[in-house]
Structure 1
Amino acid sequence: MIATNLKLSVILPMVVSNNSPHLIIRARPMKANTDLTALLQQLLDQCQPLYSQGKVADYIPALAQVAPQQAAVAIATLDGQIYSAGAATQPFSLQSISKIFGLVMAMNRLGDELWQRVNMEPSGQPFNSIVQLEWEQGIPRNPVINAGAILVADVLVSHYSASKTAFLTFLRRLTSVETIYADQQVYLSELEHGNRNAALAYLMKSFGNIEAEVPQVLEHYFHQCAMAINCQQLSRALLFLANRGVQPHSNEQICSRRDAHRVNAILSTSGMYDQSGEFAFKVGLPAKSGVGGAIVAIVPQFGVITAWSPPLNRFGNSVVAMQLISQLAEELGLSLF
Structure 2
Amino acid sequence: MSVENPAVDWGQALASIESAVNPHIGSGKVADYIPALARVDPNKFGLAVALDGGEMHALGDADESFSMQSISKIFTLALTLKQIGDDLWERVGQEPSGSPFNSIVQLEVEQGIPRNPLINAGAIATTDSLVSAYGGGEAGADKAIADLLQLFRRLSQDDSIAIDLNVARSESDTGSRNRALGHFMASFGNMTNPVEAALSAYFRHCSLAISCRQLARAALFLAFDGTDPETGEQIITKRRCRGILAVMMSSGHYDNSGEFAYRIGLPGKSGVGGGILAVAPDQGTIAVWSPGLNQAGTSMVGSLALGELVKQTGWSVFG
For residues 181 and 231 of structure 2, the distance between their equivalents in structure 1, rounded to whole angstroms, comes to 38
Candidates 281, 293, 315, aligned match of 1:334: 315
Candidates 179, 185, 188, aligned match of 1:207: 188
TM-superposed deviation, 1:177: 1.1
Task: Tell me if 1:279 matches 2:260.
Answer: yes
Task: Tell me if 1:129 matches 2:110.
Answer: no
TM-superposed deviation, 1:40: 1.6
Contact 1:44 1:71 in 2 (8 A): no
Could you list the per-position Cα deviations for residues 85-128 of structure 1 after superposition, in whole angstroms to 9, with x for gaps in the alignment? 10100000010000001001111111111111000000011111
% same residue: 47
Candidates 66, 90, 94, aligned match of 1:116: 90
Hey, what does 1:4 align to over in structure 2?
Answer: none
Could you list the per-position Cα deviations for residues 128-147 of structure 1 after superposition, in whole angstroms to 9, with x for gaps in the alignment? 11111111111000000000
Contact 2:13 2:313 in 1 (8 A): no
Letter in 1 for 2:273: G
For residues 50 and 83 of structure 2, the distance between their equivalents in structure 1, rounded to whole angstroms, comes to 28
For residues 306 and 243 of structure 1, the distance between their equivalents in structure 2, rounded to whole angstroms, comes to 16
Contact 1:40 1:73 in 2 (8 A): no
RCO higher in 1 or 2 (8 Å CA, sep ≥ 6)? 2
Task: Tell me if 1:138 matches 2:112.
Answer: yes
Hey, what does 1:289 align to over in structure 2?
Answer: 270
Letter in 1 for 2:130: L
Letter in 2 for 1:83: H
Between structures 1 and 2, the one with greater helix share: 2
Task: Tell me if 1:258 matches 2:239.
Answer: yes
- Structure 1 residue ranges (4+ consecutive) displaced by more than 4 angstroms after TM superposition: none
Instruction: Give the 3-state SS of the residue equivalent to 2:25 in structure 1.
Output: helix
Letter in 2 for 1:294: G
Candidates 218, 225, 232, aligned match of 2:213: 232
Question: Who wins on radius of gyration, i.e. which is larger?
Answer: 1
Candidates 204, 207, 231, aligned match of 1:223: 204
Letter in 1 for 2:295: R
For residues 43 and 170 of structure 1, the distance between their equivalents in structure 2, rounded to whole angstroms, comes to 31
Letter in 2 for 1:76: A
Task: Tell me if 1:30 matches 2:2.
Answer: no
Instruction: Give the 3-state SS of the residue equivalent to 2:106 in structure 1.
Output: helix
Contact 2:47 2:60 in 1 (8 A): yes
For residues 4 and 195 of structure 2, the distance between their equivalents in structure 1, rounded to whole angstroms, comes to 51
CA RMSD of the aligned region, Å? Answer: 1.5
Contact 1:44 1:72 in 2 (8 A): no
For residues 64 and 145 of structure 2, the distance between their equivalents in structure 1, rounded to whole angstroms, comes to 23
Candidates 144, 156, 160, aligned match of 1:175: 156
Instruction: Give the 3-state SS of the residue equivalent to 1:246 in structure 2.
Output: coil
Task: Tell me the number of residue pairs that the alignment of Structure 1 and Structure 2 aligns.
Answer: 311
TM-superposed deviation, 1:30: 2.2
Letter in 2 for 1:169: Q
Instruction: Give the 3-state SS of the residue equivalent to 1:247 in structure 2.
Output: coil
